[in-house]
Amino acid sequence: MRQAWDIFCTVVDNYGDIGVTWRLARQLVAEHDLQVRLWVDQLAAFVRLCPGADPHAARQFCSGVEVCQWPAVWQPVAVADVVLEAFACSLPAPYLAAMQARARKPLWLNLEYLSAEDWVAGCHALPSLQSGGLQKFFYFPGFTADTGGLLREQGLLQRRDAFQQDAAQRQAFLAGLGVQPAADEQLYSLFTYECASIAGWLQQLARGDRPVLLLVPEGRALSDVWAWLGEPGLAAGAQARRGNLRVQVLPFVSQDDYDRLLWSCDFNAVRGEDSFVRALWAGKPLLWHLYQQAEETHLEKLEAFLQRYLPGLSGPAATALGQFWQAWNSALPAGESWAALQTHWPELRRHALDWSARQAAQRDLAAGLAHFCTNWL
């Protein structure tokens, strides 16, 4: 009998909650031969990441995962061996009662948000006693060996390398999205939140001395791009040119295609949690726009990550990159630090690739979780 897992996900906003749980669920099935149900309260968000899925099906199998609509009124189901709640979502009360009643108690985990802060290692995998004889473990993704690690599928970096070394594959992929870069154009992608820094950055790109094709997937940053272009409502497929900058709006694609997009670009501006990790694995220079939190705690998370990412860069490159990320995350003008970055591209490219290789030497999140659960059960 395969070990059974129930993963619970509430979509708070955006795509990160479902993005992480869908990726994890797929990997647990594909690489660890587990039987996984993924309970999602908003199938519409899931369907954006997995085009072709049915937004109305109560249950459906996608990539071997049983994707279930988390119903408003819970219907009894057998409790799984492992119950994973993502990002502190509350389990349905009747399901929790069934967990307490189960003769052999399930393993209950809460998957936490990603942070590079030092305290994470001290809290990772700590249990807390719950009512009904249950224990809940707090599982923290992270960047060091004493945390839960990052989501990374087997062979991901090899697939990335094969793709990046095959110009025809890249060209065919981009052509499928309607993207035809000129030979001398740099390719950038922009998937951040709305930000006051965007307009100045676009201005800088338009005035810059190298031609840039900026790909903007449909989403929150688009409103700032529209405002700067003075062309509200540009939809997927539309293009505009200002100076040396060409802008093209892209449709939202599947997670696997989004990886290929990141691999195809020379620079990726990403956000939140999952697109950030994927951009790190892409091994290309990047900008991380963090999910804004009360009392600016996201700025502490940014500093913690910079301390892990900047070592290995020369002083001037590290300063320019750090200042660019800090400016963007504080919604301040970022043009000056962007300009300062321009002389460091070869170094930034090398660093991004090296960093991804070093990070990939650690155990991935799904493997760590599967191991943890098998040991416990």
Residues annotated as catalytic (active site), given as ranges: 17, 273
The reply on whether position 41 binds ligand TRH by CB under 6 A is no
Half-sphere exposure of 285 (CA within 13 A, CB side): 23
Q: Which of 108, 258, 267, 324 binds ligand TRH (CB under 6 A)?
A: 258
The answer to whether residues 202 and 242 touch, using CB atoms and an 8 Å cutoff, is: yes
Residue given tokens 């031609």 in the structure block: 211
H helix or E strand, kind and range, residue 161 = helix 156-165
Nearest to 20 by CA among 1, 32, 38: 38
- What are the CA-CA distances from residue 194 to residues 16, 93, 261, 269 (Å)? 16, 37, 21, 12
**Taking a C-beta distance cutoff of 8 angstroms, is the pair 231, 222 a contact?**
no
Q: Rounded to whole angstroms, how far apart are CA atoms 377 and 227? A: 55
Residue 218 Cβ vs ligand TRH, minimum distance, rounded to whole Å:
8
Among 34-42, 117-125, 269-277, 321-329, which window interacts with ligand TRH (CB under 6 A)?
A: 269-277
Q: Give whichever of 102 and 298 is closer to ligand TRH, judged by the CB atom.
A: 298
Task: Name which position in 17, 81, 112, 347 contacts ligand TRH (CB under 6 A).
Answer: 17
Q: Which of 46, 143, 191, 325 binds ligand TRH (CB under 6 A)?
A: 191
Task: Tell whether residue 252 is a contact of ligand TRH (CB under 6 A).
Answer: yes
Contact status: 179 vs ligand TRH (CB under 6 A): no
Confirm or reject binding of residue 255 to ligand TRH (CB under 6 A). yes
Q: Which is nearer to ligand TRH, 17 or 347 (CB)?
A: 17
Closest CA to 85 of 124, 38, 15: 38
**Judged by CB under 6 A, which of 3, 10, 14, 264 binds ligand TRH?**
14
Instruction: Give the whole-angstrom CA distance, residue 340 versus residue 167.
Output: 30
Among 205-213, 229-237, 254-262, 329-337, which window interacts with ligand TRH (CB under 6 A)?
Answer: 254-262
Whose CB is nearest to ligand TRH? Answer: 16
Nearest distance from C-beta of residue 41 to ligand TRH, angstroms: 13
188 near ligand TRH (CB under 6 A) = no
Q: How far apart are CA 71 and CA 261, in angstroms?
A: 34
Give residue 181's region: left, alpha or beta (phi > 0; psi -120 to 50): beta
- Interface with ligand TRH, residue 281, by CB under 6 A: no
Site for ligand TRH in 320-339 (CB under 6 A): none
Residue 113 interacting with ligand TRH (CB under 6 A): yes
Q: What is the CA radius of gyration of the chain?
A: 21
Residue 20 beta carbon to ligand TRH: minimum distance, rounded to whole angstroms? 7
Dihedral sign of CA atoms 142, 21, 225, 169 in order: positive
**Percent helix, strand and coil across the chain, each to the nearest 5:** 45, 20, 35
Task: Give the nearer residue to ligand TRH in terms of CB position, either 46 or 324.
Answer: 46
Q: Is 272 in the site for ligand TRH (CB under 6 A)?
A: yes
Contact residue for ligand TRH among 5, 7, 9, 19 (CB under 6 A): 19
Residue from 38, 67, 107, 253 touching ligand TRH (CB under 6 A): that is 253
Q: In the numeric block, which tokens belong to residue 340?
A: 């300062």
Give the shortest CB-302-to-ligand TRH separation in angstroms: 13
Give kind and range of the element (H or E) at residue 108. Answer: strand 107-111
- Would you tell me which residues interact with ligand TRH (CB under 6 A)? 12-17, 19, 49, 113, 191, 217, 219, 252-255, 258, 271-276, 291
